[in-house]
Structure 1
């Protein structure tokens, strides 16, 4: 038998096609690729080029919250040294509560009466429960040394800053319905425990109630207020952030020059050095996409 005549009579091998889920093709191995395989390779297809000014503006939220925590620590220090009495703290709490409530009203386009009543009832229950629990907070850490209290408080504040969600809210409201992440919940709990430790070193029940109310208003509701301002107007958010940073730096400067230098260096590092560092490192990012990636199915639905 002539072998050449058999070859001519056998059907030609079909052309290889690149398919996502087609199984093995007749005449080709499962790992076969032709010369057109690398033609679909794309480099840095999904890499977004970042702008230095845009990254610096986005980092303002971090600096703003750092200043908020710095102001809380400043109030704690003045309270522990008896510079701020309970009446001044209660006036500060009332001012924060009223101003935050007004900001929530003016930054929302549609805010019904039932929602305002819901906010008012929740805040009333919150304040009442805090006042009832104040004697417990006052005697909670009586058997623990002050050095241990300060060390744990500083550690909890660092944990709070590290895990805090700087782009969202820490509480669920109709304004911010997204559930907080697990890290954000841990961050809030760390700030609450740190506030309890500080309150346990105060002499009277009213002192404890006032400082706990102040701390929880800041740690729980300040992220919600800043989130609403940012959602309402980024320019307004930028102006409020700059004003808050300037106010914090001025207060810290009057308290201690060394702390002022440390805080100013930290803000410069967050707002200038870190964005510049991110932009420079982004230049070395190299991403390859091609036919070997996971298939993305596109469905063409026609009538």
Structure 2
């Protein structure tokens, strides 16, 4: 009987000790804090059981669909098409197979058509009356640019007379690549007082600089004037219209993109079938293949976040 009593007391004391240690561990875990400035009675490599409780995988993941991605790539395709059209026109002027006077008339017609389309978009959005002052400033600026280019054409023609043509080709290629890389492909959701992005300004400057150095290889002043005026239409004015067209229905966006791409390939085909094939491949890959690749690659997105990440500041307005 004494032996049974001793066993009972031992079991009771051991269970009491276990419960006390469990409560101690629970209390310890409750008081553990993930801070470095506070002295705690835990080892440095202590990992609490709740360490992975707030683990999240791809918290900001938004699955893409093919159609919106393709519509977003239309702006890039349109910009590349304008570059290819500009290069084709330059080669024709360099070979004296294209009348520069016709190019001046085409540039003027493009300006009138683009301005009419811009006013139509302003009218549909209810801002036609509010932009009367801006309309007068735009016409005045267009006349000043036209006269300034006409006066500077003789200077631009002899600007790079001491430079070899190989250097001009390499410099213009780098400038056009910089123009395509820094161009603003965003939509037109901008306020009245919105400012242009720095990259967009640098992109326009690179394109106009490329047009100036290429125009210096032409033979007469009229060709220089026509090419630089055409470059201003494509690289300075057309992006403004392209921003507005991105808010248009998807059928208009896709139709304008396919029209520009087809025209850039058709105008380059008589010059070189190989170059036209390269143009078509680049435009097709940008419009149709690149969105498909991005859609396929999103399955490998694996972003893990947890309590070990650095704190992200949140600014509340």
1:124 corresponds to 2:138: no
Q: Paired residue for 1:60, among 74, 98, 101?
A: 74
1:180 corresponds to 2:194: no
Aligned twin of 2:101: 87
8 A contact 2:178–2:206 mirrored in 1: yes
Tell me the secondary structure at the aligned position of residue 246 of structure 2: helix
Tell me the secondary structure at the aligned position of residue 37 of structure 1: coil
Q: What's the offset of the Cα at 1:217?
A: 1.5
Deviations 1:163-188 (A, max 9, x none): 3222258xxx9668243133x33322
Aligned twin of 2:286: 270
Q: What's the offset of the Cα at 1:281?
A: 2.4
**CA pair 279-23 structure 1, distance change in 2 beyond 3 A:** same
Of residues 64-73 and 34-43 in structure 1, the stretch that sits farther from structure 2 once superposed is 34-43
Aligned twin of 1:248: 264
Please give the alpha-carbon distance, in whole angstroms, between the structure 1 residues aligned to 2:170 and 2:93: 18
8 A contact 1:168–1:227 mirrored in 2: yes
Unmatched 5+ stretches in structure 2: 1-19
Q: What's the offset of the Cα at 1:105?
A: 0.9
Q: Paired residue for 1:150, among 169, 181, 184?
A: 169
Aligned twin of 2:133: 114
Please give the alpha-carbon distance, in whole angstroms, between the structure 2 residues aligned to 1:86 and 1:155: 26
Tell me the secondary structure at the aligned position of residue 52 of structure 2: helix
**CA pair 58-15 structure 1, distance change in 2 beyond 3 A:** same
Aligned twin of 2:51: 37
Aligned twin of 2:15: none
Of residues 78-87 and 269-278 in structure 1, the stretch that sits farther from structure 2 once superposed is 269-278
8 A contact 1:138–1:199 mirrored in 2: yes
Aligned residues: 287
Please give the alpha-carbon distance, in whole angstroms, between the structure 1 residues aligned to 2:121 and 2:34: 50
1:75 corresponds to 2:75: no
Q: What's the offset of the Cα at 1:204?
A: 2.6
Tell me the secondary structure at the aligned position of residue 93 of structure 2: helix
Q: What's the offset of the Cα at 1:159?
A: 2.5
TM-score, length of structure 1 as denominator length? 0.82
Aligned twin of 1:192: 208
Q: What's the offset of the Cα at 1:283?
A: 1.5
8 A contact 2:179–2:202 mirrored in 1: yes
Q: What's the offset of the Cα at 1:24?
A: 4.1
Please give the alpha-carbon distance, in whole angstroms, between the structure 2 residues aligned to 1:20 and 1:233: 53
1:51 corresponds to 2:68: no
Please give the alpha-carbon distance, in whole angstroms, between the structure 1 residues aligned to 2:135 and 2:257: 26
Unmatched 5+ stretches in structure 1: 1-7
Equivalent residues in 2 for 1:206-285, closer than 5 Å: 206-285=222-301
**CA pair 127-243 structure 1, distance change in 2 beyond 3 A:** same
Q: Paired residue for 2:118, among 87, 104, 119?
A: 104
8 A contact 1:24–1:30 mirrored in 2: no
**CA pair 19-204 structure 1, distance change in 2 beyond 3 A:** farther
Aligned twin of 2:184: 165
Please give the alpha-carbon distance, in whole angstroms, between the structure 2 residues aligned to 1:167 and 1:68: 17
Please give the alpha-carbon distance, in whole angstroms, between the structure 2 residues aligned to 1:30 and 1:179: 52
Of residues 20-29 and 253-262 in structure 1, the stretch that sits farther from structure 2 once superposed is 20-29
Higher CA-based Rg: 2
TM-score, length of structure 2 as denominator length? 0.79
Q: What's the offset of the Cα at 1:244?
A: 1.6
Aligned twin of 1:4: none
